[in-house]
Amino acid sequence: MMRKQIAAANWKMNLSLEQAEALADQLIAGNMTLSADQQVLLAVPFPYLLPIKNKISLQSNVFVAAQNCAATKNGAYTGEVSAEMLKGMDIAYVIIGHSERREYYHEDNKILADKVNLALEYGIKPVFCCGEPLSIREAGTQNSYVELQLKESLFHLEKEQLRNFIIAYEPIWAIGTGKTASSDQAQDMHAHIRSVIASYAGQEIADSVSILYGGSVKAANAAEIFGKKDVDGGLVGGASLIATEYNTIINSLKRS
């Protein structure tokens, strides 16, 4: 079977509860018709996980995701939310290593490895983010930069565990800037990421991992980007907050 094609929304720290529920209603009304190998993920703020999960409970292949989880198991860590708590709420996916977490909350590759371990321990699939800043892209060293992010956070795992991952490639210079990577730039990096995974875990496992592109994806460019061979969908910020935009993005996923 073809690997999953996935439209993942990252709502970040946006929307009131009322607005969030209205957006979920609009997405449902807009008809999220998905084939068996397509999925929609809605990564919503922690307090909205259960309300939005309830909203989408009758939609097949649509899931809520957390945007983060703690790097420690439990205990005196005020304000943190553990992987175990997410599991207890039946949350199946968590974003780990978003560039905003890396930059503003100083999450390095080692901390992200700890988060990945805890997510897997509780059976939650990580949406693991990687991607280079502008200075690295300008220096032309983006391939080795992204490779190190993957190696330092993931390559201590058993090879088989990599099947549980979704990878999101998000070049930082394309996030929230309106400046999308070209579809060829996305394809080149996605092929590189897949080859890095293959060199560690083998081609068959690498071929089973969905690799999403993130960074200024919108209705107008989604089909072209998702059309590339190694691009298996997107992780979408701003455009996922507008129901008509996001429904079009969902409908831009490849079908087998």
Residues that bind ligand 13P (CB under 6 A): 10, 98, 170, 175-176, 214-217, 235-239
Could you confirm whether 156 is annotated as catalytic?
Answer: no
Separation between Cα atoms, residue 148 and residue 142, nearest integer Å: 10
41 versus 201: smaller Cβ distance to ligand 13P = 41
Cα 229 to Cα 26, 194, 226, 232, 245: the distances in Å are 31, 11, 8, 8, 23
Separation between Cα atoms, residue 199 and residue 205, nearest integer Å: 10
DSSP string spanning 43-54? E--GGGHHHHHH
Least Cβ distance, residue 180 to ligand 13P (angstroms):
8
Least Cβ distance, residue 9 to ligand 13P (angstroms):
8
153 versus 201: smaller Cβ distance to ligand 13P = 153
Separation between Cα atoms, residue 234 and residue 55, nearest integer Å: 22
**Residue with the CB atom nearest ligand 13P in the bound state:** 237
86 versus 212: smaller Cβ distance to ligand 13P = 212
By CB atoms closer than 10 A (0-12, 13-18, 19+), residue 76 is exposed
Could you confirm whether 192 is annotated as catalytic?
Answer: no
Q: Are 51 and 89 in contact (CB under 8 A)?
A: no
Give the residues across from 40 on adjacent strands.
7, 62
181 versus 201: smaller Cβ distance to ligand 13P = 181
201 versus 225: smaller Cβ distance to ligand 13P = 225
DSSP string spanning 113-128? HHHHHHHHHTTPEEEE
Least Cβ distance, residue 119 to ligand 13P (angstroms):
17
169 versus 201: smaller Cβ distance to ligand 13P = 169
Separation between Cα atoms, residue 73 and residue 135, nearest integer Å: 35
Least Cβ distance, residue 179 to ligand 13P (angstroms):
9
Separation between Cα atoms, residue 119 and residue 85, nearest integer Å: 11
From the list 107, 170, 190, 192, the catalytic residue is: 170
Least Cβ distance, residue 252 to ligand 13P (angstroms):
14
Least Cβ distance, residue 245 to ligand 13P (angstroms):
10
Looking from the CA of 169 toward its CB, the CA atoms found within 13 Å total 29
Tell me which residues are annotated as active site.
Answer: 98, 170
